[in-house]
Chain A
Amino acid sequence: MLSNPRRLLCLKVLVLLSMAGSLGSVFTIRQGWGEIYPFTTWKLFTQPRGNKGQVAFYRIYLKEPRSGQYVRQPVKPMRTFTQDEYVYTLDYLVTEALPDSARQKSLAKEKVSAFVQYLYPEAEDYKIVRENYALGNAATPVVLLDTATLLTIASKRP
């Protein structure tokens, strides 16, 4: 079966189509049409992360019922979300919801709310904060520059 030249031709065509699909996805992504080929472009880490010297991450802050103060929740494995999944899902959902931040209701904001309530069922009220860090250099450490509240979500509980 392996020595069949027709199967070899099929393999060659499949490989060449795969290469073309990967390259074609570059064009379609740039045009805003999304990835046409599921095996993507592998355009990863073309620049070091934090190459501009500053980075920003989203974090969940929960309001303590007794003190009324918001407490920062560190990233860690929670329920069915690994640490990695926690980070990218939060990042994806918040990025999707930001254009709707002024609106009272939106599906994107509903998703953020569902995510936070799923991870922290006991939470009363919570907010999504963007934390900006200066990465420093060989001689200086990482410094938290500032924080900005992006979304505030009130509990649905009565």
Chain B
Amino acid sequence: MSQILSIGSNPQAVTYNDSLRAAVRFYYAQKFFRAFTFVWLYWNAAKFVQLLERPSVLFSPGHFMAQWLVPVFPAEVLFWLVLLLVGLGNGWNLFLKPSWVWQTVVALGLLWINLLPWSYGAQSHVNQLFLLAHLFLVCLNGEKPSRNHPNSTQFTAFNWFYRGLLFTYTLSGLWKVPSLLYKIGTQSADVHWLGAEAALRNARTSFLEYDLVLPFSDVFVNYAWAWQLGFVAVVYLQVTAVVSAARLPLRPWVGAAFIGFHLVNQFAFLIFFVVACFTLLFLFFPYEAVFPAFRQLRQTSTSQLFTGSRMQARYERKYAQAPPETYTSFEAYRQKLLDRNYYLFGILYLPGLRTVVEASWRLLEQISGKKTTSLSG
């Protein structure tokens, strides 16, 4: 956030509060995420038992890393040893003092385990958000709120963690833009994502692939505009995801939006991203709304004053033990609304929104200024 200043002996209250909020949020995020990792391990252990039954000749690692690390189906004892090590490491980091050494073992072990079920011809991106989060956790650990002293280094580290994760979505969105422009530019006969029949064809293909009858064609035919708008919204959210990563109030919205995106894909197009949904849920949930640490330790303002409007808007907060904060223009509105409902109005931090609103205000001011001049002239 642009308001975050370096923390000195007398920090801005908003800086302290944001750092505290991020620290409390991340502490519980990693705890729940590591707890979910045990569920993931159980799923993969159960899958491994199934894989043992398959003819060994079917094991065909296609990925570069799979060909290197597991060229042949591993011995049963090796799998259980790796699983045990990963379980121990994950348990250590969940219940005891987290260690980067154990986290390295966990990240590499999970990557290796994940290679096995997907070496039967599947695409290689499966579970990658989950694995990537574990990789970044090697360099990051949120300390218990009661022991923690939030500061800007922590805050920056959390932002980089989420930047790294959400870059995958940014890249996914960026790929769609030139593909779309190429189809439109070349006036291709193929249906592109903004075509009225794109969602219908996409759904028909997926259901046909599974020998299923598409039960809700009408949703794609009668509301084609909704799917077209949905595509624009998804591309916007994906492309800007890496920017959204560092915006604390917006982060839960981004997580919820991508979970919603995956769920729509799951039910409408049979594209399953189950582990990604859980990863987003556990890492993007605003835990400080549930756990009391943030409410207990935060600095609360003693008075707030909002004056003016549009570009002249001004919002001031005063604190008993911290310097006052002053916000102007669109930020004044955002801060005022955040004070009213932090989680609801976090959406006002969508990338580009401030630029668009302030540009339109300036335009309106110019238009009204010209009118006044012409009337007086």
Binding site for B on A (CB under 8 A): 1-5, 7-8, 10-12, 14-15, 18-19, 22-23, 33-36, 38-53, 55, 57, 74-76, 79-80, 83-85, 87-89, 91-93, 96, 107, 110-111, 114-115, 118, 133, 135-138, 142
Is A110 within 8 A of B139, CB to CB? Answer: no
Is A83 within 8 A of B198, CB to CB? Answer: no
Which of A33, A45, A51, A110 neighbours the largest number of chain B CB atoms within 10 Å of its CB?
Answer: A51
Task: Please name all residues of chain B whose beta carbon is closer than 8 Å to the beta carbon of A44 when the two chains form the complex.
Answer: 125, 172, 175
Task: Please name all residues of chain B whose beta carbon is closer than 8 Å to the beta carbon of A36 when the two chains form the complex.
Answer: 64
Contacts A7-B157, A42-B171, A49-B201: A114 and B55 contacting too (C-beta < 8 A)? Answer: yes
Contacts A84-B272, A91-B121: A51 and B192 contacting too (C-beta < 8 A)? Answer: yes
Total A-B residue pairs with C-beta atoms closer than 8 Å?
Answer: 203
Is B57 within 8 A of A110, CB to CB? Answer: yes
Is B160 within 8 A of A12, CB to CB? Answer: yes
A-B contact pairs, 29 of them (CB 8 A): A1-B98, A2-B23, A2-B143, A3-B151, A4-B153, A7-B139, A7-B157, A8-B157, A8-B160, A10-B139, A11-B157, A14-B138, A15-B163, A15-B164, A19-B167, A22-B168, A34-B67, A35-B64, A38-B111, A42-B175, A44-B172, A48-B198, A49-B205, A76-B211, A80-B50, A85-B120, A110-B57, A135-B208, A138-B221
* A87: contacting residue among B141, B202, B209, B221, CB under 8 A: B209
Contacts A7-B140, A80-B54: A22 and B167 contacting too (C-beta < 8 A)? Answer: yes
B54-68 to A contact mask, C-beta < 8 Å, 1/0: 110110101111010
Task: Please name all residues of chain B whose beta carbon is closer than 8 Å to the beta carbon of A76 when the two chains form the complex.
Answer: 211
Task: Please name all residues of chain A whose beta carbon is closer than 8 Å to the beta carbon of B190 when the two chains form the complex.
Answer: 47, 51-53
* B120: contacting residue among A1, A12, A89, CB under 8 A: A89
Minimum C-beta distance from A100 to chain B (A): 14
Instruction: Please name the residue on chain A nearest to B139 by beta carbon.
Output: A11
> Once the chains are docked, how many angstroms separate the CA of A19 from the CA of B206?
30
> Once the chains are docked, how many angstroms separate the CA of A84 from the CA of B210?
8
Q: Is B361 an interface residue (CB 8 A)?
A: no
Of the 9-residue stretches B88-96, B129-137, B287-295, B367-375, which lies at the interface with chain A? B129-137
* B175: contacting residue among A1, A39, A46, CB under 8 A: A46
Instruction: Please name the residue on chain A nearest to B158 by beta carbon.
Output: A2
Task: Please name all residues of chain B whose beta carbon is closer than 8 Å to the beta carbon of A49 when the two chains form the complex.
Answer: 201-202, 205-206, 269
> Once the chains are docked, how many angstroms separate the CA of A3 from the CA of B64?
36
Binding site for A on B (CB under 8 A): 23, 50-51, 53-55, 57-58, 60, 62-65, 67, 98, 100, 111, 120-125, 128, 131-132, 135-136, 138-143, 148-149, 151, 153-154, 156-157, 160-161, 163-164, 167-169, 171-172, 175-176, 179-180, 183, 190-193, 195-202, 204-206, 208-211, 221, 224, 269, 271-272
Contacts A15-B163, A79-B53: A137 and B197 contacting too (C-beta < 8 A)? Answer: yes
Contacts A3-B149, A14-B136: A40 and B160 contacting too (C-beta < 8 A)? Answer: no
Task: Please name all residues of chain B whose beta carbon is closer than 8 Å to the beta carbon of A80 when the two chains form the complex.
Answer: 50-51, 53-54
Minimum C-beta distance from B303 to chain A (A): 32
Task: Please name all residues of chain B whose beta carbon is closer than 8 Å to the beta carbon of A118 when the two chains form the complex.
Answer: 54-55, 58
Is B204 within 8 A of A136, CB to CB? Answer: yes
6 closest residue pairs by CB, A with B: A92-B121, A15-B164, A50-B205, A11-B139, A80-B50, A49-B205
Task: Please name all residues of chain A whose beta carbon is closer than 8 Å to the beta carbon of B149 when the two chains form the complex.
Answer: 3
Is B157 within 8 A of A42, CB to CB? Answer: no
Is B211 within 8 A of A142, CB to CB? Answer: no
Instruction: Please name the residue on chain B nearest to A136 by beta carbon.
Output: B204
Minimum C-beta distance from B341 to chain A (A): 29
Is A50 within 8 A of B202, CB to CB? Answer: yes
* B160: contacting residue among A11, A23, A55, A89, CB under 8 A: A11
In the complex, given contacts A111-B58, A138-B196, what are 6 additional A-B residue pairs having Cβ atoms less than 8 angstroms apart? Answer: A11-B164, A15-B164, A41-B175, A50-B202, A92-B122, A110-B57
Minimum C-beta distance from A151 to chain B (A): 16
Contacts A2-B157, A22-B171, A84-B272: A89 and B58 contacting too (C-beta < 8 A)? Answer: yes
Task: Please name all residues of chain B whose beta carbon is closer than 8 Å to the beta carbon of A5 when the two chains form the complex.
Answer: 153
* A47: contacting residue among B58, B111, B140, B179, CB under 8 A: B179
Minimum C-beta distance from B331 to chain A (A): 27
Is A138 within 8 A of B64, CB to CB? Answer: no
Task: Please name all residues of chain B whose beta carbon is closer than 8 Å to the beta carbon of A48 when the two chains form the complex.
Answer: 191-193, 195, 198-199, 201-202
Is B122 within 8 A of A88, CB to CB? Answer: yes
Task: Please name all residues of chain A whose beta carbon is closer than 8 Å to the beta carbon of B161 when the two chains form the complex.
Answer: 11, 15
Contacts A114-B55, A115-B58, A135-B205: A15 and B136 contacting too (C-beta < 8 A)? Answer: yes
Is B209 within 8 A of A53, CB to CB? Answer: no
Minimum C-beta distance from B277 to chain A (A): 15
Which of B63, B98, B139 neighbours the largest number of chain A CB atoms within 10 Å of its CB?
Answer: B139
Which of A35, A47, A133 neighbours the largest number of chain B CB atoms within 10 Å of its CB?
Answer: A47
